Copies of this chain bind each other. A is one copy, B any other.
Amino acid sequence: MAGKKVLIVYAHQEPRSFNATLKNVAVEELSRQGCTVTVSDLYAMGFEPRATRSDITGALSNPESFSYGVEMHEAFKRRALTRDIAAEQKKVQEADLVIFQFPLYWFSVPAIMKGWMDRVLCQGFAFDVPGFYDSGLLKRKLALLSLTTGGVASMYTKAGDNGDFRYFLWPLQHGTLHFCGFKVLAPQISFAPEYSSKEERKAMVASWAQRLKSLWQEEPIQCSPPWYFGQ
């Protein structure tokens, strides 16, 4: 939708990968709509995933015993976060929609993207106490997980070996995005591109491109328990 701002947080090492294609298609389609699209290409940026004392510039509020959560909250308030974190927070702050594009690693995001969540979504910026879940500080924003899997779709069903795909999305969709207040759009899961034919991969890309055309009309999914698991 013209005028909307989109941040794509992208985690793949290879510019010729299927994940890169999905990211590129999103940039093209959203730009065509008149959106402003920003990409955080985490591997290309060499993004730091480790949550350490170096994330805080200047003195600590309690140098006797380092608590990452406490110090990040204090540092956010006095604008003392390290530059790469402040830059990502600015991108999130300006965005109407954040898309996460990644290959599933161990039923979750790759460590480099987990590090983005651990470091960028700090107290004071993304949530507060009180100020989480439906009152999370990013509550006027949308988020969407677009991921590829190794396994085929039938493995990610209630009766499959991997269980319903909603199970592994719980920590991300509810515990992270919903916690920060994001309205979460349905995930875009491209199953097993490695084991698919060229035509099947093309169809997955086309389906994502097609969905993006009417993305702004979508209703968010229900993230709260117990409805989340369809109960």
Contacts and interface: CB of A to CB of B under 8 A. Distances in A.
Interface of A: 13-14, 16-17, 43, 46-47, 49-53, 64-69, 105-112, 114-115, 117-119, 121, 133, 150, 158-164, 167-168, 170-172, 174-176, 179, 194, 225-226, 228
A52 B45 CA distance: 13
A175 B112 contact: no
B51 A110 contact: yes
Contacts of A16: 64-65
Contact of A51 (B50, B112, B228): B112
A133 B161 contact: yes
User: Can you list the 5 inter-chain pairs with the closest CB atoms, starting with the nearest?
Assistant: A107-B175, A107-B171, A111-B115, A49-B111, A163-B225
Contact of A17 (B43, B65, B110, B159): B65
Given A150-B69, A226-B158, A107 B49 contact: no
Contacts of A66: 13-14, 17
Given A133-B161, A158-B225, A225-B158, A170 B107 contact: yes
A167 B168 contact: no
A112 to B, nearest CB: 5
A171 B167 CA distance: 8
B163 A174 contact: yes
B133 A118 contact: no
A21 B186 CA distance: 41
